[in-house]
A and B are shown apart, each in its own frame.
Chain A
Amino acid sequence: MPRKAYNKENVMNTEIYNEGPVVHKPVFIDGHSVEIPILKVLQQDGTLYPGAELPEIDQELATKVYKTLAFHRVLDERMVAAQRQGRVSFYMAALGEEATSVGGAAALKDQDMIMAQYREQGALMFRGFSTEQFMNQMFSNEKDLGKGRQMPIHYGSNELNYMTISSPLGTQIPQASGYAYGQKLQGLDAVTICYFGEGAASEGDFHAGLNMAAVHKAPVIFFCRNNGYAISTPSDEQYVGNGIASRGVGYGIKTIRIDGNDILAVMKAVQLAREYALKESAPVIIEAMSYRLGAHSTSDDPSGYRTREEEAKWQAHDPILRMKNWMLAQKWWDETQEETLFEGLREEVLAAVKVAEKIDKPELQEMVNDVYDVPPKHLQDQLDALAEHIKKYPDAYPVTSGRL
């Protein structure tokens, strides 16, 4: 094959280095030399910061967002309690961080793919995942879309464009880049949003995903929930740079830092990021500063690694109360509605728990389905042998023995 002359696109791109001054004595730039503004729109008392720009939002959308936040809070409270009662094995609440997931989904379109880490159930709620669907997943019953295969909170829905959660941290980041690249090649009016925490940003997949997206110009919104903790490890033991946002600059990615407890800032940033990602075919990174008010999961106890005073400081920044104050000030909401809403939600969740926990677990055959598109012979053979064994000792395998 004849060697082709290199076209301009193949020429090494060194121009970008030439913007800085030339020096003849060494000059180190400081690791914190990038100054990053933080966007704040809504104050805790429900008033806007002077000159603050609102996202596109009307009463209908605001009400839907607020009701989603309320559902989120109630579901989390109830399910943590249900775990304490031994009704579900595990739960992860998002107390204090609800605005990041709900606000993100509210700023997107339904056709946009959401690739979450695990604490973004709010985005799924906003998309319309029902109370019953949440329960079926958490109780691993046969109505769970995931067929009872993953631990509680590993939700996913093709219909709602919410990618099924995977426990390994950060793996969704390069996947989001690829997903968005595919959307771009098809010319779709769609982007991908990818959530992760500041801890997951230490994984190699973070670097891989951001660099791939930047180089291949994928319309993906990287959304970092910087909530201060990775289980027990505080963020100052996770990195020493200027948060996660500073890394966006290194990858040549458009970057913004926002107040993650400010639903209007979240929506504003994601709306603009979506517009930019689509128009420029390029990624954006958003770092939302927040605080994980609850435990990492029901298997964790934060009293072993942080103080009540620290938690109290952040309780004063409750994102849901902040939005409620704004809604009240707008006269879009009142205390009667508030009471009715929360009361109704608590009853709804409790009732759904009682239904879901009684539904059967998936049948034995589901153990080998979906490993491949169709179960290969060796898997079917293994299943047949297992079924024979279970028939022999039915009492030892009560979940499936009755239905063989």
Chain B
Amino acid sequence: MAQMNLLQAINNALDIAMADNDRALCFGEDVGHFGGVFRATSGLQDKYGKDRCFNTPLTEQGIIGFANGLAAQGSVPIAEIQFADYIFPAFDQIVNESAKFRYRSGNEFDVGNLTIRSPYGGGIAGGLYHSQSPEAYFTHTPGLKVVVPRNPYQAKGLLLASIRDDNPVIFFEPKRLYRASTGEVPEEDYQLPLGKADVVTTGDDITLLAWGAQMEIMEKAAEMASADGISCEVIDLRSILPWDVETIANSVTKTGRLVISHEAPVTSGFAGEIAATIQQECFLHLESPIERVCGLDTPYPLAQEKEYIPDHLKVYEAIKRSINY
């Protein structure tokens, strides 16, 4: 085991993936010699050469189009979009191409080797265009997998699984935690399962569900609730698409209460989808309405960032509302 922050864990996963398979490539804006603006690809060009780790021109649709072609050819592209806020020029390549490549060809061709990495989320004074959490857009597209890790251990295992999964995966990295989140990470190769939620803390009174950077906020709120004698079951969804209905439904069947939280705006956010499914699966077990603690339906603000964020206090209030319903 080694002490790593989330960036180092990602860098380590990429290193392992590239050493393990000489057809794996990392590329994106500033990804080459510089190692990415967050340094996630640091040292990879030196180690694997300019052919396999390189800068691209500033063209997100070009990066993902190029990656789709590489994946169809049998290479293993790991493409970086510098900020999730800038993924939208590539939306067509992702939604109409990556996601449908296998289906439309009757499995004559596929881009299952494709992985797209992108830092997402706020809390870093990034304003409108360095803070967004666009995961819900992609969950509306069959054919994609969407994965978000919460800490260095999860990041390494989930990223390696994403790279080796035979489907295109969008891997959103919580950039607020890049250096803030540290922990013990095995130095060897390991994978964590996609499509499986992780029960972080077991509890009896209420289920708290989130993913990525929002997990530490859920845990903080659970601690506050615990002081009030409320026992929270905290679950990390990890895979947003496809998502682990069973684990969540089992938990809510037990607790009867659910709070879901994400940074993205509440309307059409993924919490809505979860709430709809869980009310169907657990209708007779629910003791109170499912609570959503999310971003407001505004662009991501700068000066009022603290007010906007679905922080632990807002989650704590939602827990109390649910318990006292």
Q: Which residues of A pack against B, CB within 8 Å?
A: 1, 4, 9-10, 113, 115, 144-147, 149-150, 154, 156-158, 163-164, 166, 168, 171, 173-183, 185-186, 192, 204-205, 207-209, 211-212, 215-216, 369-373, 376-379
Chain B contacts of A10 at CB under 8 A?
A: 33
- Can you list 19 A-B contacts (CB < 8 A)? A149-B103, A154-B104, A174-B64, A174-B66, A174-B93, A175-B72, A175-B97, A177-B62, A180-B69, A181-B66, A181-B69, A181-B70, A185-B23, A208-B59, A209-B66, A211-B62, A216-B66, A376-B195, A377-B245
Q: When chains A and B are docked, how far (Å) is the Cα of A235 from the Cα of B54?
A: 37
Q: When chains A and B are docked, how far (Å) is the Cα of A163 from the Cα of B110?
A: 10
Q: How many A-B residue pairs have CB under 8 A?
A: 163
Is residue B43 within 8 Å, beta carbon to beta carbon, of the partner chain?
A: yes
Contact A171 B93 (CB under 8 A): yes
Chain B contacts of A156 at CB under 8 A?
A: 105-106, 108-109
Q: Which residues of B pack against A, CB within 8 Å?
A: 23, 25, 33, 35, 39, 42-43, 50-52, 54, 56-57, 59, 61-75, 77, 89, 92-93, 96-97, 100, 102-110, 112, 142-143, 145, 166-167, 195, 242, 245
Contact B97 A208 (CB under 8 A): no
Chain B nearest Cβ from A118, distance in angstroms: 13
Contact A182 B69 (CB under 8 A): yes
Contact A1 B43 (CB under 8 A): yes
Chain A nearest Cβ from B35, distance in angstroms: 8
Contact B72 A163 (CB under 8 A): yes
Q: When chains A and B are docked, how far (Å) is the Cα of A147 from the Cα of B65?
A: 24
- Evaluate whether A177 and B66 lie within 8 angstroms (CB atoms) in the complex, with A182-B74, A372-B167 already known: yes
Contact B106 A147 (CB under 8 A): yes
Chain A contacts of B100 at CB under 8 A?
A: 166
Q: When chains A and B are docked, how far (Å) is the Cα of A44 from the Cα of B89?
A: 45
Which of A177, A183, A207, A372 gathers most chain B CB within 10 Å?
A: A372
Chain B contacts of A176 at CB under 8 A?
A: 69
Q: When chains A and B are docked, how far (Å) is the Cα of A165 from the Cα of B18?
A: 31
Chain B contacts of A179 at CB under 8 A?
A: 69-70, 72-73
Chain A contacts of B67 at CB under 8 A?
A: 178
Given A1-B43, A174-B69, 17 other A-B residues pairs in contact with their CB atoms under 8 A: A1-B39, A146-B108, A149-B104, A158-B109, A163-B109, A164-B109, A166-B104, A168-B92, A171-B96, A171-B97, A175-B65, A175-B66, A175-B97, A177-B65, A180-B69, A182-B75, A204-B61
- Evaluate whether A146 and B104 lie within 8 angstroms (CB atoms) in the complex, with A1-B42, A166-B96, A171-B92 already known: yes
Chain A contacts of B54 at CB under 8 A?
A: 216
Chain A contacts of B65 at CB under 8 A?
A: 171, 173-175, 177-178, 205, 208-209, 212
Contact A212 B59 (CB under 8 A): yes
Contact B106 A146 (CB under 8 A): yes
Specify which of B59, B70, B108, B109 is in contact with A182 (CB 8 Å cutoff): B70
Chain B nearest Cβ from A278, distance in angstroms: 16
Chain B contacts of A211 at CB under 8 A?
A: 57, 59, 62
Q: When chains A and B are docked, how far (Å) is the Cα of A212 from the Cα of B50?
A: 15
By Cβ-Cβ distance, the 5 closest A-B pairs, closest first, are: A174-B65, A178-B69, A208-B62, A175-B69, A182-B73
Chain A nearest Cβ from B312, distance in angstroms: 31
Q: When chains A and B are docked, how far (Å) is the Cα of A148 from the Cα of B242?
A: 25
Chain B contacts of A185 at CB under 8 A?
A: 23, 25, 51-52, 75
Contact B70 A178 (CB under 8 A): yes
Chain A nearest Cβ from B113, distance in angstroms: 10
Contact B242 A378 (CB under 8 A): yes
Chain A contacts of B145 at CB under 8 A?
A: 372
Contact B66 A215 (CB under 8 A): no
Chain B contacts of A147 at CB under 8 A?
A: 106-107
Chain B nearest Cβ from A165, distance in angstroms: 8
Q: When chains A and B are docked, how far (Å) is the Cα of A171 from the Cα of B73?
A: 16
Q: When chains A and B are docked, how far (Å) is the Cα of A216 from the Cα of B54?
A: 9
Chain B nearest Cβ from A115, distance in angstroms: 8
Chain B contacts of A144 at CB under 8 A?
A: 106
Specify which of A149, A178, A207 is in contact with B73 (CB 8 Å cutoff): A178
Specify which of B39, B57, B242 is in contact with A377 (CB 8 Å cutoff): B242
Beta-carbon nearest neighbor of B144 in chain A: A372
Contact A178 B77 (CB under 8 A): yes
Q: When chains A and B are docked, how far (Å) is the Cα of A154 from the Cα of B106?
A: 11
Chain B contacts of A370 at CB under 8 A?
A: 102-103, 106-107
Chain B nearest Cβ from A368, distance in angstroms: 9
Q: When chains A and B are docked, how far (Å) is the Cα of A149 from the Cα of B43?
A: 44
Q: When chains A and B are docked, how far (Å) is the Cα of A158 from the Cα of B108?
A: 5
Q: When chains A and B are docked, how far (Å) is the Cα of A211 from the Cα of B69?
A: 15
Beta-carbon nearest neighbor of B195 in chain A: A376
Chain A nearest Cβ from B280, distance in angstroms: 12
Contact B59 A168 (CB under 8 A): no
Beta-carbon nearest neighbor of B56 in chain A: A212
Specify which of B43, B56, B70 is in contact with A215 (CB 8 Å cutoff): B56
Chain B contacts of A115 at CB under 8 A?
A: 69
Contact B167 A373 (CB under 8 A): yes
Contact A150 B104 (CB under 8 A): yes
Which of A115, A166, A181, A183 gathers most chain B CB within 10 Å?
A: A181
Contact A373 B109 (CB under 8 A): no
Q: When chains A and B are docked, how far (Å) is the Cα of A164 from the Cα of B110?
A: 10
Beta-carbon nearest neighbor of B72 in chain A: A179
Q: When chains A and B are docked, how far (Å) is the Cα of A205 from the Cα of B97?
A: 12
Beta-carbon nearest neighbor of A171 in chain B: B97
Contact B66 A371 (CB under 8 A): no
Q: When chains A and B are docked, how far (Å) is the Cα of A185 from the Cα of B74?
A: 11
Beta-carbon nearest neighbor of A113 in chain B: B73
Contact B142 A371 (CB under 8 A): yes
